[in-house]
Amino acid sequence: MSDRVLLTGISGYLGGHTALALLAAGFTVRGSVRNLAKAEAVRKTLEKHGGDVSRLEFVALDLMSDGGWVEAMEGVRYLVHTASPFVLKMPTDKTELIRPAVEGTERALNAAFAAGLERAVLTSSMAAIAYGHDKSRTEPFTAADWTNLEGRGVNAYIESKTLAERRAWDIARSAGREIDLVTINPAGIFGPLLDEDPGTSVAGIQRMLNGSVPAAPRIPLVVVDVRDVAAAHVAALTAPEAGGKRFPMGESTMFLFEAACVLREAFPGHAGKLPRFEMPDWGVRIYALFDGDVRGLLGELGVRKSLDSTPTIGLLGRPLIPARDTIVATGESLIAQGLA
């Protein structure tokens, strides 16, 4: 069997970086897209960033359809499942997020284990670890923690990631393959873009740079670099000690205004557009009545939480990229792409 990896969600922000990391490590990558019409654009983007696209192939898969999953696993040794919906503005019907996240995970893992793949690496999230807990908690959240879905501030996205990861571990246990599953649980993913699509998490930095955030709410960013998250997925495929484990990833935490100060120092030409002060919490709650993106984040207003990334640092064999450097790299990329 070849060292071929089925990578779901290759056209996404993390998916693209993960494809580059896999190709750089010598793997053959079979990337899934919902529509093969996207394949050529993804190929060109990865080639532009140095990817060896001679070892790149594509397959059409849909998280909500059974079609193609069995065939997609043929000749594949590993699965990296990054595909899952991610939004800031919560839908009226939460199942719009939950069903694709959970059912996509079911389809990917059931097909992988049925085909005898050696290991599956699932992109989970800090959302499955650090929410619904008491606001007074100050110690970092660890791989042993799970989000309390009955707790405060749990929105549809948090619920979708928690239920999807729990379902993944249930499937692995039922198949007797728990040791062959690894989950990567990143916080907010930032860093350089590969194309002109800022994605969801980077869009917050974009909004600050383009002047659409006049004052910064006290919303925390637990920052991790997309390049580190991609590298962790690749390392988790073959590291014997990674099997059956969860890997939280968050380098450090800053509030939005702290991130704005980093951007102001790095990009003085954009200083006039960046927020100059922190909005009081009562003002944020009023503002959220008119801004769905902010409304979905009210549960975390003023809560500075953190993750214990020690296991991930051990997996990578190096420290994580500092959050400040990640925020600067995000800004540089947005400006270079003409998005700021």
pLDDT digits (tens, 9 = 90+) for 163-192: 999 999 999 999 999 999 999 999 999 999
Give SS3 for 289.
coil
What is the per-residue pLDDT for 301? 77
Q: Say yes or no to pLDDT of 297 above 60.
A: yes
Respond yes or no: is residue 161 known to be catalytic: yes
Convert the pLDDT of each residue in 138-171 to its tens digit: 899 999 999 999 988 788 889 999 999 999 999 9
What is the per-residue pLDDT for 283? 81
Q: Percentage of residues in the chain with pLDDT exceeding 70? A: 95
Q: Which residue has the tokens 């120092």?
A: 265
Strand order in the sheet with 220-225: 188-190, 220-225, 252-255
Chain length of the chain: 340
Convert the pLDDT of each residue in 50-62 to its tens digit: 999 999 999 999 9
Tokens representing residue 176 in the block? 């007797």
Confidence of residue 1 (pLDDT cuts 50, 70, 90): very low
**Distance from C-alpha of 80 to C-alpha of 70, rounded to nearest angstrom:** 15
Choosing from 89, 94, 161, 273, the catalytic residue is 161
Confidence of residue 94 (pLDDT cuts 50, 70, 90): confident
Of the two residues 126 and 198, the one the predictor is more confident about is 126
Q: Say yes or no to pLDDT of 87 above 60.
A: no
Single-letter residue type at 140: P
* Residues 55, 2 contacting (CB under 8 angstroms): no
Confidence of residue 79 (pLDDT cuts 50, 70, 90): very high
Convert the pLDDT of each residue in 4-19 to its tens digit: 999 999 999 999 999 9
Confidence of residue 72 (pLDDT cuts 50, 70, 90): very high
Give SS3 for 137.
coil
Confidence of residue 135 (pLDDT cuts 50, 70, 90): confident
Q: In terms of CATH architecture, what is 4-336?
A: 3-Layer(aba) Sandwich (3.40)
Please, how many CA atoms are within 13 Å of residue 85, restricted to the half-sphere of its CB? Answer: 24
pTM passes above 0.75: yes
Confidence of residue 312 (pLDDT cuts 50, 70, 90): very high
What is the per-residue pLDDT for 2? 61
Name which of 189, 185, 201 is nearest 128 in CA terms. Answer: 185
